[in-house]
Amino acid sequence: MFNALPQALGLAPTDFLNGEPALVEQCIQKLVGVLRELRGAYDALLNDWQALLSQSLLQESITDLSSLRENLTHRYRGLDAYTPDKMGIGAFILRLCNPGYPSDQAWLESAAALLGKVPPQKWKEANRIEAQFRLQERAGQLHELEALRLTLPNKTQDTNAVLLRLVDTDGQEISRTICQTEAQREAANIEAQKIVGDLSHLGETQQLAIIAAVLNTFRR
């Protein structure tokens, strides 16, 4: 305690052990400040995480945690039906919309734990960075699923929606959503096989380049 603690506070242990009142007082004041910072560190972490959720998933700043939870639930409830990824984005949607948590803070901690892989109480800097990265990834997926739901608001077993997106290095992007019945999808698959047959003499890169060129014609 008389060696490591002064060093952690930026003081030489030998100076501290000399008992100089000014140095001892300086050490005490620094220790009090550090303890106050540690006491508020977890609350600050949760506040930052709440702000990230609000900006990433709602594109606005909602400072009231209960209101944030209500808004996210209202916006994303049922969106998991539009993805086959039940362990990834599907699990995140269910976590956001789960009404069973005993408090809003427990809900916030649960969402953070899912993305950070461990409860936020145990986060290290690597966990915080990973959670933030995954949140941005999930936000993009949610927006894509929302586009599918707008195209097909009443999803059934006989219909599905598809999102097509093409982005190039010039920053140009084309995005289209289509709604298909099962019969339409089967007919499209037949035509697709014919096209694939015509391109079979080409390598994969060339085939994909042709598909990209076809999608590019829809910019006009």
Q: Where are the domains of the chain?
A: 1-151, 153-220
**C-alpha to C-alpha distance for 196 and 207, rounded to whole angstroms:** 8
DSSP 157: T
- pLDDT for 159 equals 80
- pLDDT for 60 equals 93
Contact criterion met (CB below 8 Å) for 121 and 113: no
- pLDDT for 15 equals 64
DSSP 3: T
- The backbone region for 10, taken as left when phi is positive above 0, alpha when psi lies in -120 to 50, beta otherwise, is left
Of the candidates 185, 167, 186, the one whose C-alpha atom is nearest the C-alpha of residue 175 is 167
**C-alpha to C-alpha distance for 81 and 160, rounded to whole angstroms:** 11
Q: Tens-of-pLDDT digits for all 220 residues of the chain? A: 667 777 776 767 666 666 667 766 777 777 666 666 666 688 899 999 999 999 999 999 999 999 999 999 999 999 999 888 999 999 999 999 999 999 999 999 999 999 999 999 999 999 999 999 999 999 999 999 999 998 888 877 778 888 888 888 777 788 788 888 888 888 988 998 998 888 889 999 998 888 888 888 887 6
Distances (CA, A) of 132 to 12, 49, 52, 114: 38, 8, 8, 11
Contact criterion met (CB below 8 Å) for 174 and 165: yes
**C-alpha to C-alpha distance for 120 and 100, rounded to whole angstroms:** 19
- pLDDT for 59 equals 93
- pLDDT for 131 equals 95
- pLDDT for 220 equals 61
| Helical segments of 59-156, H only | 65-76, 89-97, 104-116, 125-151
